């Protein structure tokens, strides 16, 4: 498990390559709901490992990274939220990408970070771990952590399935 440092610790389980990339695309873009339990078990085991190492609390709450409303509708829900629920750990979806956020396609990492707008729609309690499928620039994770911290939430870090 690799660890990245943005403005918080980010652990990533694999590179966005080969079979890992194929699983992620199948899950997100091809509706392969049969993969949710498998990926959820991997996420759950990874968080148990982090807790055993003292990196996060054993009773950490998972906060799925936000996704665009259009993507959620097109996919029939949020695959990251489904995976969090399949991990059998406490999951609290509470973030959304603001409708004022421009599409990030073609933007530089700096532009993505400056343009990303995340909104808190419900207040979580206790310590949280942000879960996302893939980290590229870290803009979504950073914006999510910032809005949670501004609301007084203890953000321990983020865990992603893949790193691009």
Q: Name the CA radius of gyration of the chain, rounded.
A: 15
Domain that holds residue 127: 2-163
Q: How far apart are CA 39 and CA 82, in angstroms?
A: 10
DSSP 106-148: T--HHHHHHH--EEE-S---SEEEEEEEEESSSHHHHHHHHHH
pLDDT number for residue 54: 97
Contact 132, 158 (CB under 8 A): yes
Strand partners, 160: 12, 132
Instruction: Assign residue 136 the CATH number of its domain.
Output: 3.40.50
One digit per residue, the tens of pLDDT, for the chain of length 164 reads 766 657 899 999 999 999 999 999 999 989 899 999 999 999 999 999 999 999 999 999 999 999 888 788 888 889 999 999 999 999 999 999 887 776 767 667 777 777 788 999 999 999 999 999 999 888 899 999 999 999 999 999 999 999 98
Instruction: Say how many domains are in the chain.
Output: 1
Contact 115, 102 (CB under 8 A): yes
pTM over 0.85: yes
Report how far Cα 95 is from the mean position of its chain's Cα atoms. 11
């Amino acid at each position: 498990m690799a660890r990245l440092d943005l403005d918080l610790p980010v652990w990533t389980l694999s590179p966005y390559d080969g079979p890992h990339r194929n699983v992620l695309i199948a899950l997100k873009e091809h509706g392969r709901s049969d993969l949710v339990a498998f990926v959820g078990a991997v996420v759950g085991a990874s968080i148990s490992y982090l807790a055993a190492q003292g990196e996060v609390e054993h009773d950490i709450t998972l906060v799925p990274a936000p996704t665009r409303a259009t993507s959620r509708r097109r996919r029939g829900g949020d695959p990251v939220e489904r995976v969090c629920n399949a991990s059998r750990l406490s999951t609290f979806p509470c973030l959304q990408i603001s409708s004022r956020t421009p599409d990030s396609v073609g933007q530089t990492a700096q532009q993505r970070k400056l343009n990303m707008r995340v909104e808190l729609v419900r207040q979580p309690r206790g310590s949280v771990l942000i879960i996302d499928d893939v980290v590229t620039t870290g803009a979504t994770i950073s914006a999510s952590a910032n809005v949670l911290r501004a609301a007084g939430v203890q953000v321990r870090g983020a865990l992603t399935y893949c790193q691009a």
